[in-house]
Structure 1
């Protein structure tokens, strides 16, 4: 498809989506400080999703030149605290809001809270290119996290505070077991990648969107420095798979988590427009391109940079 035609399709799809979201026969109704078509807003995002949310914001703003979305990337616990700040109308996290929390916010801030699972992310396990072990069962992953693996391997996470990745591993993998006292926390996901690249005895845990996009030159440079490990499939003992979208869709890759937006904007402003965009075709395609599994659109899955193959 020619570049100009693709640009027109993207612009048309975005405009149609926002017109539908705003209602009023497509007229702009400015009830607050912004509309889906113009203004400035600030959103709070779990820092583990920076690559894909950066891409979403770039496309949205390029098609609506009058908009500016300021993204605050934070550990998940800090983003979650932003739910109680009325100046931040949208957060993006791996955790859903409970009914009691929804009611509390509605009562305290006098605003309705909406949430939607827009994509599913996989947690990638990364190792040094020369690491002899690059295929693990989930029991072995747990042993690495607790410090009980047959070899001394140091687990390394993204974020010096609790990110969605850390919470998932503690809640869904360890399930009450204690994390190894030797576990390390790097400040960001790219810091995890750089640490693993120079430490053969370390194992990193990051969101797959940091290492899966074959169209991103930075991520391709990451893949030259580390190796993405295979994890035993949920449906076949002895078969190992990579965190590819097809394996996430089909439930074969065992470590997956939802990407959820929680919206509490009291009018149809810029945050509402961006939330709608994440659900629409272009936003869902961007998730797919970042090698997350889009949850609201059914796309065929093409090959990704992390090519599937036999474990040697």
Structure 2
């Protein structure tokens, strides 16, 4: 072999061996990647959906420890205003987004976008000791319209019904008035409560009471009635058998931030669907 060529080969081999020897040391000196900078995601939630959405936020934070999810409860109008003004990154609402609400009132350009999530059941609840287990949709209408006032006529005890309702303008009340009362209004004799939690608490302590809440608020002391023999469950909502429902929708600015889109992707992913699927018939295809 040519002496010059042999010398070059030897230098190459020595360099390669030296590089291999130093690689672990160099790797050990390489600083670890920086963790993501802390961020916060401001989310508006409706009171009716608060329990399940709290579980969703907790699971999301477990995967994104750098992200603090700050939730606050508001009605739909307040939630839309917060998203439109940049006070919130996104909002969950329990009704559809009206096309006019999606537009900037001054420029008429789109400013809000709706992301359908699922459909929830509105539970007609009674005290856990009430022997009535099922009502027809017409019986629900007659009860909340104030036409039927006696539990004995509905298969119950000799007690006068005490209606418990959400306030005028609450999304679930609007759904009840449209779906059960056929566009009518709940009787003025109803006791009005400011939240689903308050409705459930009142019914739990009054054997004669009947009210309605988002299904996730059915707990100790109350029970959800079947309606026309259909249970208040996501599967019955998905099949169309259960008649009292409401939509769950995410609203974001049209110029959505990356962190808001990341949460939406989580909602539509397997874990998000599993959590929210406990209380909603989830939208397919997302």
The two structures have a TM-score, normalised by structure 2, of: 0.76
Structure number with larger C-alpha Rg:
2
Give 3-state SS (helix, strand or coil) of 2:271's partner. helix
Q: Is the 8 A contact 1:279 1:296 kept in 2?
A: no
* Structure 2 unaligned spans of 5+: 1-35, 151-159
Give 3-state SS (helix, strand or coil) of 1:254's partner. coil
Which of 235, 238, 242 is the equivalent residue of 1:253? Answer: 242
Go from structure 1 to structure 2 and tell me whether the alpha carbon gap of 1:133 and 1:231 turns closer, same or farther (over 3 Å shift): same
Which of 194, 210, 218 is the equivalent residue of 2:217? Answer: 210
Go from structure 1 to structure 2 and tell me whether the alpha carbon gap of 1:267 and 1:140 turns closer, same or farther (over 3 Å shift): closer
Which of 228, 251, 259 is the equivalent residue of 1:270? Answer: 259
CA RMSD of aligned residues (A): 2.6
Q: Is the 8 A contact 1:39 1:67 kept in 2?
A: yes
The two structures have a TM-score, normalised by structure 1, of: 0.70
Between 68-77 and 243-252, the greater mean CA deviation after superposition: 68-77
Which residue of the partner structure matches residue 186 of structure 2? 179
* Structure 1 unaligned spans of 5+: 1-34, 212-221, 233-239, 299-312
Do structure 1's residue 130 and structure 2's residue 119 form an aligned pair? no
Give 3-state SS (helix, strand or coil) of 1:72's partner. strand
Which residue of the partner structure matches residue 82 of structure 1? 82
The Cα of 1:281 is off from its aligned counterpart by: 1.5
Which residue of the partner structure matches residue 157 of structure 1? 165
Q: Quick one: distance in 2 between partners of 1:44 and 1:276? A: 17
Which residue of the partner structure matches residue 296 of structure 1? 284
Which of 184, 191, 195 is the equivalent residue of 1:188? Answer: 195
The Cα of 1:248 is off from its aligned counterpart by: 0.9
Q: Is the 8 A contact 1:38 1:270 kept in 2?
A: no
The Cα of 1:64 is off from its aligned counterpart by: 0.6
Which residue of the partner structure matches residue 229 of structure 1? 225
Q: How does 1:42-61 map to 2 (within 5 A)?
A: 42-61=42-61
Q: Is the 8 A contact 2:84 2:111 kept in 1?
A: no
